[in-house]
Amino acid sequence: MSTLTIFSSTRTPEAAAPSATSRPIPAVLGADLEVPVKGGRLVGYANLDYAASAPCLEPVSAAVTAALPAYSSVHRGAGYASQLTTARYEQARHTVRAFVGARPDDSVIFTRNTTDATNLLAGCLPEGTTTVVFDTEHHASLLPWRHAVRLAPPAFPGEAVRAADEALAAIEGPKLLVVTAASNVTGELWPIAALAHIAHRHGARILVDAAQLVPHRRLNLTALDLDYVAFSGHKLYAPFGAGALVGRRDWLAEGEPYLKGGGAVRSVGESVEWHDDPEPRHEAGTPNVLGAIALAAACDALTATGWTALVREEERLIARLRSGLASIDGVRELSLWGDDHPRVGIVSFTVAGYSAREVAEALSGEYGIGVRDGKFCAHPFVRHLLGTSGGASDGDCADDTGSAVRASIGIGSTQEHVDRLIEAVRDLVSRC
Ligand SMILES: Cc1ncc(COP(=O)(O)O)c(C=O)c1O
């Protein structure tokens, strides 16, 4: 059942049986980066901030370097380099389609990132659409909707399905359910297959924010029966400014063109005839070819490695990190659905006696560790988890009132990085 694909990586078929074609886990650029710490020493950087932006995979950098000599215009040149670059751009679309297991007739629109993708879809919703969204969402998925019903953080996964069921049943007209696949705050996996089922039972569609899932787990849009998915290249080891919105064509073919300009039109005279193919309709102007090539190279590299090896290593490290932090008095991990709920490589926590900013600054300045602190652009959710209420200063992603520290891992993370974080937090607590 597709829910299991999402909920328990260790029990998925791909995790159980090594793939015959899998290759070694590729390296990331910057693995040997050294950074200054207090006293002027240089130490190897422990990058534990993958959920914000992941480092570049070597095969991604190689693909971009290989594409540069023939870099040229896309969709508008007769020259050989232009044709080659156009072919590479369109091949990238096919690769992204296959990576998320999209249906053959789904659209794949290159965007800047997940935020761009959710906003693009928001502009294409049929007149009168009501969106149902949980307060646990990242702002990229919480905010773009004109008419939204916001649901409180559910106490357990079944409650998420029940609350969505009730909310969708009460809505007349077109409806869209928006939900994250993996929380950027807790890493916890959401029951997206069950939510897709409920959405469809009410004639609604579902958009899944896969920004934090696709760097860590295989996603199959067709098997899960999702209508749309959105994700970002820079979280998928492809930091070249591209993301994607993938999903059903009809709303996208009829929606207002996201950008108005060259490429989105068939002809311009007294009136304008817009493309009704979603890709040109919403990708006006010169596209981010290198971003798309980079994104596709990351998809290829992850697929070639196989999820078995990736998931196994991530689960080993995240279990070590969580149990290490749990052994320190005064450290509290944030969790919506409890310790045993499956999650990707993200852990948010608080340290008694310190603000999150103090912890993050000490980790960086004294130990060469990079983490994120704040509310992670998920203000309502972090407030809920911390049991704090909003204040006037909660206007951006960086305020440190009622905040947490977030450590996140991925390809290139090592046991030494994890152990250094645990020992650094232990050391900070011992000084309190
Ligand atoms: C779950 C989730 N959705 C959306 C976003 C927004 O991604 P981007 O900044 O690439 O648009 C993020 C970024 O942290 C995220 O974690």
Element holding 406 (H helix, E strand): strand 404-408
Structure tokens given for 175? 């409806």
Mean pLDDT of 86-98: 98
Q: Which atom of ligand 1 is nearest to the CA of 182?
A: 1
> What pLDDT is stored for residue 76 in this prediction?
84
> What pLDDT is stored for residue 74 in this prediction?
92
> What pLDDT is stored for residue 412 in this prediction?
97
Pocket probe for ligand 1: among 232, 372, 382, the residue whose CB has the most ligand atoms within 8 Å is 232
> What pLDDT is stored for residue 396 in this prediction?
41
Q: Which atom of ligand 1 is nearest to the CA of 183?
A: 1
**What is the tens place of the pLDDT at every residue in 378-429?**
999 999 999 976 543 433 444 445 899 999 999 999 999 999 999 999 999 9
Q: With contact defined as beta carbons under 8 Å apart, do 57 and 26 qualify?
A: yes
> What pLDDT is stored for residue 395 in this prediction?
37
Ligand 1 centroid – CA 260 distance (Å): 25
Q: Does the predicted TM-score (pTM) go above 0.85? A: yes
Mean pLDDT of 197-219: 98
Exposure string over 235-254, b if 16+ CB within 10 A, otherwise e: bbbbbbbbbbbbbbeebbbe
Task: Return the closest-CA partner of residue 296 out of 236, 210, 222.
Answer: 236
Least confident of 99-113, 289-303, 383-397: 383-397
Mean pLDDT of 25-32: 96
Ligand 1 centroid – CA 143 distance (Å): 12
Burial of 132: CB neighbours in 10 Å, binned 0-12, 13-18, 19+ = buried
Q: In angstroms, rounded to a whole number, what is the distance separating the alpha carbons of residues 314 and 36?
A: 27
Residue 279: pLDDT over 70: yes
Q: What is the mean pLDDT of the chain?
A: 93
> What pLDDT is stored for residue 23 in this prediction?
85
Query: Of 56, 377, 397, 432, which one is the catalytic site residue?
Result: 377
**Reduced to 3 states, what is the DSSP secondary structure of residue 182?**
strand
- Cα–Cα–Cα angle for 293, 189, 109, nearest 5°? 30
> What pLDDT is stored for residue 400 in this prediction?
45
> What pLDDT is stored for residue 60 in this prediction?
98
Residue 19: pLDDT over 90: no
> What pLDDT is stored for residue 21 in this prediction?
58
Ligand 1 centroid – CA 211 distance (Å): 6
Ligand 1 cavity residues, CB under 6 Å: 113-115, 138, 140-141, 180, 184, 209, 211-212, 232, 234, 377
Of the pLDDT bands very low, low, confident and very high (cuts 50, 70, 90), residue 8 is: very low
> What pLDDT is stored for residue 432 in this prediction?
83
- Catalytic residue check, 377: yes
Mean pLDDT of 71-89: 94
Q: Within a 10 A sphere around the Cβ of 10, how many other Cβ atoms? A: 10
Q: In angstroms, rounded to a whole number, what is the distance separating the alpha carbons of residues 353 and 282?
A: 49
Residue 2: pLDDT over 50: no
> What pLDDT is stored for residue 310 in this prediction?
95
